Structure formats: C-alpha cells, structure tokens
Structure 1
C-alpha cells in the first residue's frame, strides 16, 4: 500500500548554515517533522509539516505509564553526492519488535519508509558534505490516550524528525563497571528501545562521571558478574588471536544493535574468530592484567565504533593500551561499506 503524504512546507524557510567542525550532537533540528496518528484501529493519513511543539493533554498515557519507544538511524552523503540511508529496514523491524513488547500497533513498512525518505528529501540542506558527519533520523512512537489507568492506549502518535550530527563522543572513553544497579533482567524490556530503559541508566551515569568515566558498563541483574552492554553502546572485546568477543543476546537483556550486527559481519569478513558468548567481568580484568585482552570498544548508531581505554572496577582503574588497531580497522571497513568501496548486502543501502 502506498501512503500519500500531505506535505506542508515552511513558507519562509530560514537560510541554514551549519558549522560542521563544531556541531553539537542532537542540538540542531530539522525544519520539518513527519507525523502519523493511529486511532480507531487504523493509521490516518500521514503529514509532513514545519517543526513545532506538540500539544499534549496532561493525562497523556505515555507520560504516566511509559508506552514510548524510539529508533535511531543515519543517512549519509558520499563524496560523489549520492545520498543514502543505512539499514533502514532493520531499524524498522526493530521498532516493531519494541512495539509488540509494549502492546503498541505495528507501523506499516510502506508508511515508515515513505515518511523517512520524504522527510530526508525535503531536508536535503541538512546533509553533510561527506561521511564524517550524518543526518540522524529519530522515529518516536508513543501512547496518546488521555487516561489514568494501566492499559494499552487506543491512540498513538508516530513522530519522525532529523538532526545533523558528528561524533557522539569526543574520543576514546572510560567505562564505570556498575555493580549495584541493574539495567535489565530476563523477561524484561532490555532488548527493546523503550524510553524508560534510558532514564533508568541516568543515575549510574552520574556515578560514572564522578569516577571520570563517560559510560557505564552494565552487568547481569541475577549474578552481577556477566558483562551485558554499555549505557549507550553494545560491548566488544578483542583477545589475542584476534578473537572478537561480544556478549550473547540469548538472555534477552541486551539490545540487538544494528551497528553490532554490522561489526560482526565485518569481523567475520576479515576472517577473524568471533564469539557471541557469556563474558564475566573477571575475565575482562584478568585479561587486562595478563595482557590477553588487547582492546575493547563499543558500537551503536550514535557512537558508531568507540574505543574503551579503561574500566573502573572495584576501586581500581584497569587500563588498556592507548592504541585500538582492531577497532580502527573495523571502523575503516564500516565507512567503506557506506561509501560503496566495500560490498554490503544490497538491502542495507537505501539510495535517495
């Protein structure tokens, strides 16, 4: 089904000048946003309109009971001017997995695709000159019933907007190993992009900052020994070999990252040994002490690939060598996928 989009453009758009060298992450927004409402068990005609604040009733269900999910994907411009969206379908599928877990309506593929691509075409001036920056696409779906009562909403709003971005972190990060609080438990919502998951991580983030760390490293909620993920990224570790280790998704407590999946593809393409398995925090620190753990890094749509140079654990800073050659090789391969010099599965690249 093709979804005709009602488009209302800014009547007098302001000239857009972006300082790409000093662009703050997530602070500059598109001049338009896309909206689609769900009511009476069906999606209404979608619109693209000038960016403006949303009018919400104080009883809006999502504000009280947390029926709110989101996605984050990126669009790029190659040096030859070609514009593309990376792994659009995979982000769409993950959005709907999140929706199913929170008893929210499925977003039709044709609706999602049409809104994302139409908005990106309208906001062409947001595209950077090359792959060093990107246009971050933020779809948000939340419950809108004005209702005090715990039940699934009957109405929902899908909002999509854009923000031009550079690096999420300024450089390699340190990780604070969280041993007191938990991010997710088996059977919970750790494997979806639910808004509340990130709010629950903020207090640990303050603890990390107090120890001069930029991220938290979460352990499992049951035994508090198994590595799960960073507060903003999936976790990877490089042992001698090289052997690339990342925590398994089997417990259902880790977000199945799209960038994580891409990096697994690239590591296997290089012929490296890849293990998706349980990894104890003690194996990490022992690996550092014995020189078997060569490097660590995190992956995510916002951060892309970010080396982790040290872990604060049990009152001690466990430091890795400052160089991160394996992360850098994978990062180079990642951008080669984007610029087309490295073959990617065809469904990963959507050209505009």
Structure 2
C-alpha cells in the first residue's frame, strides 16, 4: 500500500508484521528491527523525495565509496512510550544537530531538518506497536548516512543515502562494568574526528577493546593520545568520576563526543546542588583517589547505556575495585533521567519531545 503526504514523504506499508515472532522480554541489543525503515537519497546536488518502506535488504555496488573511504556517520536516539500510549523522544534536536556536525566533518551533505523530524515521527507512529511502555523499555533509533556513489577515486562522494532504522531495546549493560585505562592505543587525536559519530571511530577501537575483554574488562576508558595521562571517554559512553561528593568529567574537545546524556547529567547535577567540575582529569588523580578512599564512583553516560556504573578499573597491571554504594549518584541520575524520558516526572528543562 502506497501513501503520500503533504511533506512529500512516500510511505509503502508492509503487508505483514514480524512483531508476533519477537520475544520482547529477552531482547538482545541491536539484533531485532521493526517492520519499516526511512530512506532518502542524495543525488544531483540535493536530497530527493524521502520514503518509508518495509525493512529490507538493499542492493549497493561493491565500488560504493563507503566501503573504500569510510564516509559514514550515525546517531543513537531512543523513543519511549508512557502508560497512556504517548510516544516521546529525548532532546532529539541535539541528535539532529550532531549528525549534521558529524556529516560536515566527513564532507557529507547536511540533512534537511523537516525531512529528519517528519520522517522519524511518521516512522515511529507506523511502528508504534513495537514501542513497549514501562521503565527499561525503549525503541532504539539509528539514523545514519553512507556514501553510495560507485567510484573508487579518493574524494568525497556525489551521492549518499540517509536512513533511519528502529530496534526495540532493554538495558545495554545489566551489571556494573569493569574498565581498563588506555595506556597504548588511542581512540582519537587532536584535529581528528573523535567528536563526530563516524563509523570508523568505533571500528578502530574494536581491537584494543577485544584485548581488554580477554582480560575480563568490558570497556576501555580512553586517554589523551599525546601523553595517555588524562582520562577522556569510554568506548560507548562519556565518563564521570565522583571524588568525595564532587562529580568530575572531561571537557569537550575535538577528541570527545558531545554526549547528550552527558550534558543532561551535568544539568541535573546543577539542579540537585551537586558540585560538578568539567575539567581535565588525570589517571594519577583517580588512582590516588582510589587508594585513599575518596574515589566513590565511576559511571558512564550514553544513549544506549543511559547510566552504567563501573565496578573496577585497571591501569599499569594494577586493579582497583570500587565499592557499590546503596545511594549512588549513578542510580540517582539514572532514575531522574528515565523518569523524564518515560513521562513519569516533571520536565523542567523541556527535554521531552512528544511524537504527535
């Protein structure tokens, strides 16, 4: 069935649904996808008519530039459904701005705001049955852009494809994670693309992360590429340290992703009267705080993970175990964030965006 609408989005509805075969109580993150997807191609110097169509494999030439030169950026967002069946996004303007910032850094054309929001909202409404209510349930949203022009000369592509796919989700990490402080490998460098959600950023960290996992650690906290003396962010999360009752997180720079959850935690800390320092934080400082007992918590913040406590870290072959607190900042911020996202509590900052 084909429909059109005033904003030019062509909608082709799936004749059948996969939803009946999905076990929503036992989801593996990022493995199950909904019935539809959003697609918009860039050709002849402009974005063409967007489409929503049944989720399906697509044909792309082996010479497509994305395979050879890595022109690919993406975003991570979530949608939530409250007990009345209303659907909400969390600060989607931040994700829209960031994907265009990432695109610009990789010489990819920026995407139209009207297409982004209209397409995303129509896609969510079309697959709304896949969004389950209840705290802990969400719909993970993956917008991304790839270079599709079939040419293997080393220059920016002339054609691209922007897509949005949806995946129902539960918690990314169910238990506190153990992390390794980076000593050799680097995630990004000054003047690079660390601030962008470029696909290659993640591919480059898979190998060192696999080495950490063999030692029993789930993530790496990356250090600055020049000296490896300052802690910056984890593989899938921005990172926070609580020393006594002060929260500390690294400042944004061109090596660190401008995390939406990170910014939200900083704002919530202000609301709660918790001192939050945004500054460089050294490995030596955190190790010393772990030894003298003033290091109370480390936790990650990100869209997929929300808030993820760290139970231990290793550096220079020394392991530091952290006591799990009953009334932790991590649990406080997670509850505050999720209550806003699920329309349970007030939203004084106007972060909640209803899909109507």
TM-score, normalized by the shorter chain, greater than 0.5: yes
Q: Is 1:258 matched with 2:265?
A: no
2:127 to 120, 123, 129: 123
What's the offset of the Cα at 1:125? Answer: 1.4
For 1:187 and 1:227, locate their aligned partners in 2 and report how far apart those are by CA, in whole Å. Answer: 18
Residues 295-310 of structure 1 correspond to what in structure 2 (within 5 A)?
A: 295-310=297-312
| TM-score normalised by structure 1 residue count | 0.96
Deviations 1:146-182 (A, max 9, x none): 1111111110000111000001112100001121110
Q: What residue is the counterpart of 1:227 in the other structure? A: 231
Partner SS state of residue 20, structure 2: coil
2:314 to 312, 315, 323: 312
What's the offset of the Cα at 1:17? Answer: 4.8
For 1:350 and 1:278, locate their aligned partners in 2 and report how far apart those are by CA, in whole Å. Answer: 36
Contact 1:239 1:294 in 2 (8 A): yes
Q: Is 1:196 matched with 2:200?
A: yes
Q: What residue is the counterpart of 1:279 in the other structure? A: 281
For 2:348 and 2:141, locate their aligned partners in 1 and report how far apart those are by CA, in whole Å. Answer: 21
Q: What residue is the counterpart of 2:247 in the other structure? A: 244
1:103 to 103, 107, 111: 107
Contact 1:69 1:193 in 2 (8 A): yes
For 2:104 and 2:172, locate their aligned partners in 1 and report how far apart those are by CA, in whole Å. Answer: 29
Q: What residue is the counterpart of 1:343 in the other structure? A: 347
For 1:14 and 1:275, locate their aligned partners in 2 and report how far apart those are by CA, in whole Å. Answer: 47
| TM-score normalised by structure 2 residue count | 0.95
For 1:344 and 1:146, locate their aligned partners in 2 and report how far apart those are by CA, in whole Å. Answer: 48
Contact 1:333 1:342 in 2 (8 A): no
How many residues get paired? 349
For 1:15 and 1:116, locate their aligned partners in 2 and report how far apart those are by CA, in whole Å. Answer: 19
Contact 1:133 1:166 in 2 (8 A): yes
Q: Is 1:41 matched with 2:9?
A: no
For 1:145 and 1:17, locate their aligned partners in 2 and report how far apart those are by CA, in whole Å. Answer: 36
For 1:129 and 1:107, locate their aligned partners in 2 and report how far apart those are by CA, in whole Å. Answer: 31
Mark the runs of 5 or more structure 2 residues left unpaired by the alignment: 1-5
What's the offset of the Cα at 1:323? Answer: 2.0
Deviations 1:169-200 (A, max 9, x none): 12100001121110111100000100000000
1:215 to 201, 219, 237: 219
Residues 56-135 of structure 1 correspond to what in structure 2 (within 5 A)?
A: 56-135=60-139
What's the offset of the Cα at 1:45? Answer: 0.4
Q: What residue is the counterpart of 1:165 in the other structure? A: 169
Partner SS state of residue 33, structure 1: strand
Contact 1:211 1:312 in 2 (8 A): no
For 1:10 and 1:101, locate their aligned partners in 2 and report how far apart those are by CA, in whole Å. Answer: 36
Contact 2:76 2:143 in 1 (8 A): yes
The change in CA–CA distance for 1:13 and 1:337 in structure 2 (over 3 A counts) is closer
What's the offset of the Cα at 1:301? Answer: 0.3
What's the offset of the Cα at 1:344? Answer: 3.5
Q: What residue is the counterpart of 2:324 in the other structure? A: 322
